[in-house]
């Protein structure tokens, strides 16, 4: 399983209005739920919030990758959002976030699939051109293309 298999344009959102970490997670979980990905939205949200208490998912560069293990995920997916507001996330670089990748991994993919997805996203986000492309684009299809191809057209 790779990012290209579980991130679709229906799960890409610009201009998320949330102003807190929990509100971001709730709003993004609502998107996953509306697409039939979650069996129980509240159980999933609690799993993600619980994971946040153990260590930050704010990786720096205004990016967070929240996730949680829960049997309430029917099929694996990633939601991507950019927020209108900078959100305090207790990130590794102490900077707020405005780009969030919310991972929802199903039981059948939980062996090490979520670790591979996290590693794939983190590796791609080490490329400054990819980060700039994700921060600047206004096209959902472009978010998918940037993450799948790993290159940004100049």
Q: How far apart are CA 22 and CA 29, in angstroms?
A: 10
The pLDDT tens digits for 26-44 are 999 999 999 999 999 999 9
pLDDT at 50 over 60: yes
**pTM of the full predicted structure?**
0.91
pLDDT at 141 over 90: yes
Q: How far apart are CA 5 and CA 112, in angstroms?
A: 16
Taking the alpha carbons of 15, 19, 23, 24 in that order, is the dihedral positive or negative?
Answer: positive
């Amino acid at each position: 399983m790779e990012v290209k298999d579980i991130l679709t344009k229906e799960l890409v959102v610009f201009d998320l209005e949330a102003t807190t970490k929990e509100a971001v997670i709730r709003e993004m979980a609502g998107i996953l739920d509306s697409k039939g990905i979650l069996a129980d939205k509240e159980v999933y949200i609690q799993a993600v919030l619980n994971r946040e208490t153990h260590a930050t998912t704010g990786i720096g560069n205004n990016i967070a990758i929240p996730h949680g293990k829960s049997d309430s995920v029917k099929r694996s997916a990633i939601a991507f959002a950019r927020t209108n507001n900078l959100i305090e996330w207790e990130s590794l670089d102490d900077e707020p976030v405005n780009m969030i990748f919310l991972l929802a991994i199903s039981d059948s993919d939980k062996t090490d699939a979520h670790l591979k997805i996290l590693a794939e996203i983190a590796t791609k986000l080490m490329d400054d051109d990819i980060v700039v492309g994700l921060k600047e684009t206004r096209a959902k299809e472009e978010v998918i293309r940037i993450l799948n191809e790993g290159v940004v057209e100049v």
